[in-house]
Structure 1
Amino acid sequence: MKTKNIYLFVFIIFTIVSCEKFLEEDPRAVIAPETFFASDNDARQAIQGTYAILKNNSIYGQVGLDHFYDNGADIIEPNRPANFVQPIGDYILDEALADVSVQKMSVSDTWKDLYRVIFNANFIIDRVTDNEAILEEVRTEVIAEARFLRALSYWHITNLWGNAPYYTEALTLDEVRVLGRTDEATILEGVIADLQFAQGVLPSTYPDDQRGRASRWAAAIIEAKIYMKQQNWQAGLTKCLEIINESPHVLLPTYEEVFDPANEYNAEIIWSLDFARDIEGIFDPAFPGRSFAGNNSWRPSMFNPRLRDEPANSDERGALREALSARGEAFNGTGLQVAAKDFAETFPLNDLRRPLNIVDNYLGFELNFPYMAKFWNLDLATSPRFNHEDNRMVFRLADVYLMAAECENEANGPGGAYQYIEPIRQRAYATQAEWELVGLSQQEFREAIYDERKWELAAEAHRRYDLIRWGILFDVMENIEYRFWSPAQNIRPWHVLLPIPLQELEQNPALLESDPTNNGYR
């Protein structure tokens, strides 16, 4: 049973954030500005509070980043028209729609919260550096973790907006609000420097009471992904092999085990954010109208079915409810993240991963929509609606194996790449005749990677990023049939990036100086 300790602390005069200590439950007093960073514990609390921002609905708490990395691709879609995912999924987003927020989820919310992480990380680094009230070992550790969180945020920002404001000093909010955009290549140079520093300091593993913090391997996988985006295949391969050969992480025997809610810290998971139920969001008085998601996750409710939609034969709804109740379960989700029509129709029938990604019959009842059971938690006792304790998986080792396979193929051809894709396929099929790949050309292996990443990492916030870096987003979307959307009619070349939200442009006209088109949306 996971528990949490929630702190409130003041970040000088600029922001107040919620803070968790990973596995305790004992509220503490507010720390005054004049005493803040006066001890090792103060510095560690500051880092924990910055992790809390990542749990907001706009980032990892619900489907904030999923909007950009999965919607508008070929894996998930809502089971009905839904305003909060349609602008991106249907490619009708504009500057004004980027400001529309539902449950603290919008382009604007994600922009603000990623920059809040950066603001806090810079502030922590400034206050900890050369602070003799804090042990040198703790200073180094805290700075490394702050630099990781800053790098993570800038990585997401460059993926979503390309060129963007970039700063690594403890600026005031007024100073931040007049920054123009820095080119993406320069930002990524700084990101890699931060990630490399973090890898030199962060531990390989954490004790049980600190699980949820990012290890050196979380920093390593982001660095590898950046090299791949830059098509620096050898550097990407080297970093992937470092993770495979030197980290404590291993592939689990079966796909199903990876997503077992009773084993959320299994050996395949490189990093996941720790959540617990019954801990509500905390109001943030420094930013009126906004609050933190707290430690209870909303995301499983987005993937859980909604009973009013099921089963296919509505006359059997009562029987389905009774069958679920007998198991201590309920269809009490929203159904707003289901397997896309094309994804469900093309997922190989003999793939052992299919039952975790495509559920169209449950307890003998035929369902209207195909659901993704690997993100389900129907248990009423441990996972009530919008109050789940399920962790949010961010990175896992299977991704790294497929990254290594891609890097090897791009650098040297497929000959040496089979060894990295085969472990993933071996657990996905019952026989060697099904999983084995032989005699592929470089292009054929490249296309095999396209498919393998689709099936293995479905709805884990990778797909749209992959399609964009492969340069095939438009080709794929032109041939996808959705239930309610028509992205092929709407998608345009500039949709590989998001617009900077209108309210940000109004507050800071400097954001348009280097690009008056706002990533093509003007």
Structure 2
Amino acid sequence: MKIKALIYILTGFFLFSCNDLDLNPLSEGSSESWNANASELDMSVAYLYDIDFWDAELTRTSTSTSLSGYELEWTDRYTDDWTARASLSDITGGTINSQSSFVTIAWKYAYTCIAAANQVIVSLDKAAESVSESKLKEYEAKARFARAAQYARLIFLYGDVPYYTNVLSIEEAFSLSRTDKQTILEAVYADYDFAAEYLPITYGSNELLFPTKGAALAMKSRIALYMGDWSVARDAAKACMDLGVYELHPDYSTLFLSKTKNATENVFAIPRSVGLGIYIPRGGRAKEPITRIAGGFCNGGPSWDLFSAYLCEDGLPIDESPLYNPHEPFKNRDPRCTASIVEFQTPWLGFMYQPHPDSLTVLNFNTGKYQSNADSRGVGQYASYNALTWKKKLDEDWLDLLTDPDNRIIRYADVLMIYAEAKIELGETDQSVLDAMNQVRARAYGVPYTDTSSYPAITGTNQDELRKTLRIERRMEFAFEGLRYADLIRWRLAEKALNTPIYGMLELDDLRERVVKPGLWFFPSTPSIDEDGVADFSGMHQAGQINLLVERQFDPSKQYLWPIPANEILINKNLTQNAGY
């Protein structure tokens, strides 16, 4: 894989680069003459799939470009699934503006990839004499797939954006205005359709970097779903399903680990490899979800909101199920709960995890001895403020210097859920909808979806109830995968879910006196869960049993779109700003 083989000298400069300016030493190749043969096209296309453009997590590479150092939000920190002590992101704090770093960098990354894709597409005729027509179509398909994915992300985040498919001069670039997002969406569909026609269904093991026919269909279904285009989402997801090449990984808890490479559930993923210098290092944010006793910070992790969203084993929410006990809140829950959040008094990363304030020592399984418990507020004041810590994606590999799990862009479970949701919204509930949803749920229980007596199978067909069930299912299935933010935005639930307080444990003395001593650990009582799956902890707070850490703030008058970056507005008089910024 030549993931880092090509830098800007081959594909243009930053956003709105000028191909007429050839400022590169001749020994490094010219953008005017490049892409004249298969070898050069291989490198140019590989650049489009540089992990920097697709990273859902925090990656560092041993070879760097001037884009390196960008830290995409690799968790759900923009949502109600995330708690980071008493801090907020620019989105959950309502402080997002046109100069927010992630706003500017996401825009820059997307357009850098788009410029590179356009450069490939317009230069294909240079290689017509040495490369077969079918191979040229494949190169074009890979480039159009990359372009479609970047434009899809742009219109979802920013709305109307500049759209172009050629190589621009500086003058042309600075005169572009915003194109209606629906027009761009149709172009995105066309690019994905072309990719689906000319990309292979599978590759050999040395080409896992690139998208397939199924990936094009899946990504088309995702942006159609996000834009409320239900029939397109349904048809594209069904076409992906009908390929018959994907299936759910049998074990939900191991799917996300670095040892699980190229799972059949991966519809599109960018592989990482320590050997190739593409990995998640231990430092920085990679240490954020790791427990303090294991060498991490444990200052960012699952929220009580997420924890309370997991259903019980009877398929009911915690405020309706007789199986739920707030003092033993991990018991009798959907298996994805304990696969995603570390259960108390269980081994984790070489130590017993027990955040109880009186558990001042815990067992170190590596030494067989007890040691001071850095994950208890009774020992460390910076231990998890809500006692919860992530388990999903993490294992002992994260304690090494480097780790390299696949960077999954879309997996088969999402395709199944996209199909089901689109059918529900179209009012086309049938057995195929129930089967798709039950495949996802049954996998969590480790049983065939047809064995409906072994898990709480979904059976109802009422549209409103199924919509609620699907939304909860997505939250349980995709926690810590970066999908919750898009769901909140497209469901128009952000104004509710992101205008709620973040709660945590009381300070140590009060915690012992008001919660532990009366026998109310861990949760003093059961929060209520509303029709949208949003938990209400206010009763416990009013009773003085939990702390209000910080108030989330989301302004629905503007925050359903991100602002156009300020620097783009300044250099282009034809660009207008989104309302409210």
- Tell me if both proteins adopt one fold, taking TM over 0.5 as the criterion: yes
Question: What is the Cα deviation at residue 299 of structure 1?
Answer: 9.2
1:253-272 equivalent positions in 2, closer than 5 A:
253-272=250-269
Distance 2:11 2:490 in 1: 40
**1:198 corresponding residue in structure 2:** 195
Mark the runs of 5 or more structure 1 residues left unpaired by the alignment. Answer: 18-28, 101-105, 281-294, 311-319, 321-329, 513-517
Deviates more, 1:122-131 or 1:183-192: 122-131
Supply the AA of the counterpart residue of 2:579.
G
Say whether the 8 Å CA contact 1:303–1:372 is kept in structure 2.
no
Say whether the 8 Å CA contact 1:300–1:388 is kept in structure 2.
no
Question: What is the Cα deviation at residue 192 of structure 1?
Answer: 0.4
Distance 1:34 1:115, change over 3 A: closer
1:415-434 equivalent positions in 2, closer than 5 A:
415-416=430-431, 417-429=433-445, 432=453, 434=455
**1:474 corresponding residue in structure 2:** 495
- List 4+ stretches of structure 1 deviating above 6 A: 56-60
SS at match of 2:50: helix
Distance 1:465 1:476, change over 3 A: same
CA offsets, 1:435-477, max 9 Å, x none?
A: 2223352101100011000000112222121222222221222
Distance 2:85 2:441 in 1: 30
The partner residue of 1:375 within 382, 393, 399 is 393
Distance 1:209 1:134, change over 3 A: same
Say whether the 8 Å CA contact 1:4–1:276 is kept in structure 2.
no
Whether 1:95 and 2:94 are equivalent positions in the alignment is: no
The partner residue of 1:118 within 114, 120, 126 is 114
**1:459 corresponding residue in structure 2:** 480
Distance 1:140 1:221, change over 3 A: same
**1:128 corresponding residue in structure 2:** 124
CA offsets, 1:400-449, max 9 Å, x none?
A: 11112212222235443211111111122477364222335210110001
Say whether the 8 Å CA contact 1:302–1:336 is kept in structure 2.
no
Whether 1:394 and 2:409 are equivalent positions in the alignment is: yes
Distance 2:273 2:53 in 1: 11
Say whether the 8 Å CA contact 1:94–1:521 is kept in structure 2.
no
Supply the AA of the counterpart residue of 1:155.
A
Distance 1:225 1:353 in 2: 23
Distance 1:206 1:111 in 2: 31
Say whether the 8 Å CA contact 2:10–2:29 is kept in structure 1.
no
Deviates more, 1:30-39 or 1:255-264: 30-39
Supply the AA of the counterpart residue of 2:118.
N
Say whether the 8 Å CA contact 2:11–2:116 is kept in structure 1.
no
Deviates more, 1:397-406 or 1:86-95: 86-95
Question: What is the Cα deviation at residue 181 of structure 1?
Answer: 0.7
The partner residue of 1:251 within 248, 251, 264 is 248
Distance 1:473 1:172, change over 3 A: same
Distance 1:413 1:35 in 2: 53
**2:295 corresponding residue in structure 1:** 331
Whether 1:496 and 2:560 are equivalent positions in the alignment is: yes
Distance 1:415 1:51, change over 3 A: closer
**2:309 corresponding residue in structure 1:** 346
Distance 1:13 1:428 in 2: 44
Supply the AA of the counterpart residue of 2:341.
I
Say whether the 8 Å CA contact 1:154–1:191 is kept in structure 2.
yes
Distance 2:6 2:301 in 1: 36
**1:76 corresponding residue in structure 2:** 82
SS at match of 2:203: coil
CA offsets, 1:26-69, max 9 Å, x none?
A: xxx944556522211101100111222635779874885537x8
Deviates more, 1:433-442 or 1:245-254: 433-442
Whether 1:519 and 2:568 are equivalent positions in the alignment is: no
Say whether the 8 Å CA contact 2:273–2:404 is kept in structure 1.
yes
CA offsets, 1:349-408, max 9 Å, x none?
A: 421111221125433132434232222243268x41xx4322211110011111122122
Distance 1:335 1:216, change over 3 A: farther
Distance 1:212 1:377, change over 3 A: farther
Task: Give TM-score, length-normalised by structure 2.
Answer: 0.71
The partner residue of 1:355 within 314, 338, 343 is 338
CA offsets, 1:318-358, max 9 Å, x none?
A: xx4xxxxxxxxx534x5464112311243344211112211
**2:524 corresponding residue in structure 1:** none
Distance 1:477 1:264 in 2: 35
Supply the AA of the counterpart residue of 1:343.
L
Whether 1:236 and 2:254 are equivalent positions in the alignment is: no
The partner residue of 2:551 within 472, 480, 486 is 486
Question: What is the Cα deviation at residue 487 of structure 1?
Answer: 1.9
**1:443 corresponding residue in structure 2:** 464
Percentage identity across paired residues of the two chains:
23
Distance 2:115 2:435 in 1: 42
Distance 1:173 1:373 in 2: 48
Supply the AA of the counterpart residue of 1:341.
W
Distance 1:40 1:192, change over 3 A: same
The partner residue of 1:157 within 145, 154, 157 is 154
**2:208 corresponding residue in structure 1:** 211
Distance 1:345 1:300 in 2: 30
Distance 2:169 2:469 in 1: 49
Say whether the 8 Å CA contact 1:428–1:435 is kept in structure 2.
no
CA offsets, 1:50-98, max 9 Å, x none?
A: 222635779874885537x8333221233463xxx721232211123x2
Distance 1:202 1:125 in 2: 15
Supply the AA of the counterpart residue of 1:403.
I
**1:302 corresponding residue in structure 2:** 285
In proportion to residue count, which structure has more helix?
A: 1
Deviates more, 1:474-483 or 1:397-406: 474-483
Question: What is the Cα deviation at residue 141 of structure 1?
Answer: 1.1
Say whether the 8 Å CA contact 1:47–1:146 is kept in structure 2.
yes
Question: What is the Cα deviation at residue 148 of structure 1?
Answer: 0.5
Distance 1:379 1:228 in 2: 35
Question: What is the Cα deviation at residue 5 of structure 1?
Answer: 7.1
- Residues matched between the structures, number: 455
Distance 2:445 2:8 in 1: 53
Supply the AA of the counterpart residue of 2:422.
C
Distance 1:396 1:56 in 2: 14
Structure number, greater radius of gyration: 2
SS at match of 2:578: coil
Distance 1:207 1:33 in 2: 30
SS at match of 1:198: helix
Distance 1:258 1:300 in 2: 23
**1:316 corresponding residue in structure 2:** none
SS at match of 2:559: helix
Deviates more, 1:245-254 or 1:139-148: 245-254
Say whether the 8 Å CA contact 2:309–2:472 is kept in structure 1.
no
